Structure 1
Amino acid sequence: MGVVADKKVTRAWAMYDWANSVYPLVVTTAIFPIFYEKISTGPDGSDIVNFFGFDVVNTALVSYVSATMFVLVSILSPLLSGVADYTQRKKFFLKFFFVLGSISCASLAFFKMEYLELSMLIYLLAGLGFWASLVFYNGFLPLIAPREQQDAISAQGYSLGYIGSSILLIICLALVMGVGMDARLSFVITAIWWMGFGFWSVKKLPEFPVKIDPKVPVFSKGFYELRQVWKGLKNTPRLKRYLSSFFVFSMGVQTVMIMAVYFGTKEITWASEDEKTVGLIVSVLIIQIIAAPGSKGLAWLSTKIGNVKALAVVLLIWCVLCISALWVTTPVHFYVIAGFVGLVMGGVQSLSRSTYSKLLPDTEDTTSYFSFYDISEKIGLVIGILSYGLIEQLTGSMRNSIFALIVFFIVGLLILLSMPKEERAYLKK
């Protein structure tokens, strides 16, 4: 399945994390939530916006649009992964989606409440480009590295992503707070970084041809292969059990990533608007700075106690953090929580990806398996984000939405711990 790891290739692969991670940090996590909350809150403090004639809570609207985007990714991923395999152009589709994402990201500079529907469409396309590109990007991991190196290489990618995105966020923060640059220009700077480093990274990745069955139509090949993956799970119980756990706990992880700053804008008591802006971005930087060593630290822990136990430790910490967040009201408490979130954020993402890669059966068709992985994550995200948004819409408080996250982490942990010892042992090979 894999080849002997070539350091130049694995470094180039990891650099795409450096390229694309600026979008989820600078745009969806840091600057856009603060920018959006300001322009979507009325002079009277109302957080209700009109979207296609419906009155919606502004942050709940972001949840709904994000959920729609993930549904689209779930539909497009198998369709395009089949085309990518058939045409042997994985790199082309990776490029296509990061170009779509980066151009849409730059277009967010024109985001206006007067054109909220069009503005949200641009936001959706930027996210679509980011998440769809990861389907093809992740599929390269088992092809460029042997199983025993995948934890470390996956962690290297996430670490580079956290470091690079932190650097750009600091630059954007300095320009916005220091010289008064319009926050919208941060979206343009992020797009340039993403596209520039993205082309440099992908250029150095090799192409891996996949054997094609001419009897299977190209446009249905991806769905056909997903059915084959689903059938194959019956013969790979360790993978089936792990995916069930991942499906549930990723609902919580990804929802926290997308909605954390929105929580900070509404549920934390800030002394002023300036303190809120600076405080929220500082909390994001705390997460980023701690996430890089946290990712590598969990990779090290997995070599000592195994992937399953290491993931179980992290999920237990997530449960404690979510329960603690129910009582977080002050900036200091928010910073403390942010520090612990950073410790486990990068690690759970990195180890989740490499654990799945190590559990795959011997196959050259890794794109379809990672397409299945990504679709599982996206469907989980749809459930997680919709739950979060609906609870806020119905109760009027984001704090109540945390209860859904607690349930996701506890259920995911219990499923993970139900994996038989002989299946856990497979991960130590």
Structure 2
Amino acid sequence: MMYDWGNSAYSIIITTAVFPLFYKSVASNAGIANSDSTAYLGYAVAFATFIIAMIGPILGALADYEGLKKKFFFTFFAIGSLSTASLAFVPEGNGTLLLVFYAITAVGFHGANIFYDAFLVDVTPEKRMDQVSARGFGLGYIGSTIPFIISIALIMLADKGVIPLATGFAMKLAFVITAIWWIVFTVPMLKYVVQIHSIPRDPDVNIIKGSFVRLGRTFKDIRKYRHVFLFLVAYFFYIDGVGTIISMSTAYGTDLGISATTLLIILFVTQVVAAPFAIIYGRLSQKFTGKKMLYVGIFVYIIVCIYAFFMKTETDFWILAMLVATSQGGIQALSRSYFAKLVPKEKANEFFGFYNIFGKFASVMGPLLVGVTSQMTGHSSYGVFSLVVLFIVGIIVLRFVPEPDQVRI
């Protein structure tokens, strides 16, 4: 849970808020057009996403062997956190090198999350997985706001000349603060969490060759894991809708004429509200099951899409943001724990590699659907409304996924 507290700073400061603003500023000073700089940033994200999506199952299969899960986790954590700190030392006029380091941070962050998510099967029995996963997300939302507030305060004070720092330098400090926060709160994970479920290592068998053999066997025996892949298909659709709304929310707000300062305040409040609701989802899952609470979360997002269609004012945007806050943490937390309950524990890393693939490639279809629909109709509101399709398909497929206690592997 403390790792969620630590690494969530990366999500809000590097992925969502400060780094995109910093890069756009660097690109603008270099004379790069806004459309081109946005495209270059997108290419960097796509490149990092593709790498992790491709190597995820392979790394997961390797990490399933005894004693390797934490080593892989530490490797990617080190790559992510150290490269995040290194962003502050990239020459300010070198936008290309900045994007290269950003792509490396993304590979480290998402790569570490494969093994972190898979550790869920090692730290708690199935009956507590929903609560532990939800509390992790809840702490993550709370923990991320602290370095976010510090960073935004430094940037705003520097921008107004209250403190003797250039705005660009204040943004670089935010990168260092993020890395330090991430590293410090990873210590409990490294010190106390151990791999319990694993596959014994045969000294006569090359583990790399053995990993590929096991991956091939998993695909060959796909009928045996039909329930897992059904869940992944459902997850692919509904998490695509969730991710699209999160990633494009700033664009929606800008279209409404909401100022950057107000958008940052809304983003902060959304994080604060999301924290207790993620925990509430975990508790309610004990009473109503995780699957039913996933239905609730998906239904809330369908309402969000419909409401966004009629959105006109800043007040509407606040309402929309709070609706998202009630369910974004819960739906992600329960998806993680539901999947952890479905997969064989000794092969958790391998399967969470697939989980990562579906989650990453899902981030492509939603924005594409919004873009195409918006262009065809001439109204972005129709693009947002089109996401309803993804949630409906997701909820239909989810109905065919059995409850974890009905699965026998």
> Which TM-score band applies after superposition, normalised by the shorter structure?
0.7 to 0.9
1:371-390 superposed matches below 5 A: 371-385=353-367
Rounded to whole Å, the distance in 2 between the matches of 1:190 and 1:37 is 19
Contact 2:137 2:278 in 1 (8 A): yes
Match of residue 399 from structure 2: 417
Match of residue 318 from structure 1: 301
Equivalent pairs counted in the alignment come to 398
Q: 2:337 aligns with which of 354, 360, 367?
A: 354
- The runs of 5 or more residues in structure 2 that have no matched partner are 160-164
SS at match of 2:94: helix
Match of residue 306 from structure 1: 289
1:367 matched to 2:354? The reply is no
Range that drifts further, 190-199 or 174-183: 174-183
Rounded to whole Å, the distance in 1 between the matches of 2:307 and 2:314 is 14
Rounded to whole Å, the distance in 1 between the matches of 2:177 and 2:147 is 9
Give the residue type in structure 2 aligned to 1:278: T
Rounded to whole Å, the distance in 1 between the matches of 2:53 and 2:171 is 31
1:238 matched to 2:227? The reply is yes
**Residues 149, 233 of structure 1: alpha-carbon distance in 2 compared, 3 angstrom cutoff:** farther
Q: 2:74 aligns with which of 92, 95, 103?
A: 95
- The runs of 5 or more residues in structure 1 that have no matched partner are 1-13, 50-57, 271-275
Residue by residue over 1:199-221, the C-alpha shift from the partner in whole angstroms, topping out at 9 and shown as x without a partner, is: 34222212345223567643344
Contact 1:295 1:347 in 2 (8 A): yes
1:281-292 superposed matches below 5 A: 281-292=264-275
1:191 matched to 2:179? The reply is yes
Match of residue 34 from structure 2: 47
Rounded to whole Å, the distance in 1 between the matches of 2:134 and 2:337 is 8
Rounded to whole Å, the distance in 2 between the matches of 1:327 and 1:41 is 34
**Residues 148, 87 of structure 1: alpha-carbon distance in 2 compared, 3 angstrom cutoff:** closer
Give the residue type in structure 1 aligned to 2:328: M
Give the residue type in structure 2 aligned to 1:175: L
1:63-78 superposed matches below 5 A: 63-78=42-57
Contact 2:138 2:274 in 1 (8 A): yes
1:23-422 superposed matches below 5 A: 23-37=10-24, 40=27, 47-49=34-36, 58-86=37-65, 88-109=67-88, 114-180=93-159, 182-208=170-196, 209-212=198-201, 217-264=206-253, 266-270=254-258, 276-361=259-344, 363-385=345-367, 401-403=383-385, 405-419=387-401
Rounded to whole Å, the distance in 2 between the matches of 1:387 and 1:176 is 35
Match of residue 18 from structure 1: 5
**Residues 366, 46 of structure 1: alpha-carbon distance in 2 compared, 3 angstrom cutoff:** closer
**Residues 417, 59 of structure 1: alpha-carbon distance in 2 compared, 3 angstrom cutoff:** farther
Rounded to whole Å, the distance in 2 between the matches of 1:232 and 1:295 is 35
SS at match of 1:235: coil
Contact 2:342 2:407 in 1 (8 A): no
Rounded to whole Å, the distance in 1 between the matches of 2:69 and 2:374 is 40
**Residues 330, 42 of structure 1: alpha-carbon distance in 2 compared, 3 angstrom cutoff:** farther
**Residues 43, 84 of structure 1: alpha-carbon distance in 2 compared, 3 angstrom cutoff:** closer
Q: CA deviation at 1:308?
A: 1.8
Give the residue type in structure 1 aligned to 2:343: L
Q: CA deviation at 1:305?
A: 2.2
Give the residue type in structure 1 aligned to 2:342: L
Rounded to whole Å, the distance in 1 between the matches of 2:369 and 2:287 is 36
SS at match of 2:171: coil
Contact 1:64 1:389 in 2 (8 A): no
SS at match of 1:21: helix
Q: CA deviation at 1:186?
A: 0.9
Rounded to whole Å, the distance in 1 between the matches of 2:327 and 2:361 is 22
Rounded to whole Å, the distance in 1 between the matches of 2:61 and 2:368 is 29
Contact 1:159 1:295 in 2 (8 A): yes
**Residues 201, 86 of structure 1: alpha-carbon distance in 2 compared, 3 angstrom cutoff:** closer
Rounded to whole Å, the distance in 2 between the matches of 1:395 and 1:32 is 32
Contact 2:66 2:200 in 1 (8 A): no
Give the residue type in structure 2 aligned to 1:353: R
Q: CA deviation at 1:142?
A: 0.9
- TM-score normalised per structure 1: 0.82
Residue by residue over 1:174-197, the C-alpha shift from the partner in whole angstroms, topping out at 9 and shown as x without a partner, is: 222235452232111111111222
**Residues 197, 336 of structure 1: alpha-carbon distance in 2 compared, 3 angstrom cutoff:** same
Rounded to whole Å, the distance in 1 between the matches of 2:184 and 2:133 is 22
Q: CA deviation at 1:120?
A: 1.8
Contact 1:155 1:347 in 2 (8 A): yes
- TM-score normalised per structure 2: 0.86
Give the residue type in structure 2 aligned to 1:346: G
Give the residue type in structure 2 aligned to 1:314: G
Q: CA deviation at 1:393?
A: 8.9
Rounded to whole Å, the distance in 1 between the matches of 2:99 and 2:89 is 11
% same residue: 34
Contact 2:119 2:195 in 1 (8 A): no
SS at match of 2:195: coil
Range that drifts further, 113-122 or 33-42: 33-42
Q: CA deviation at 1:148?
A: 0.3
Range that drifts further, 334-343 or 204-213: 204-213
Rounded to whole Å, the distance in 2 between the matches of 1:154 and 1:367 is 16
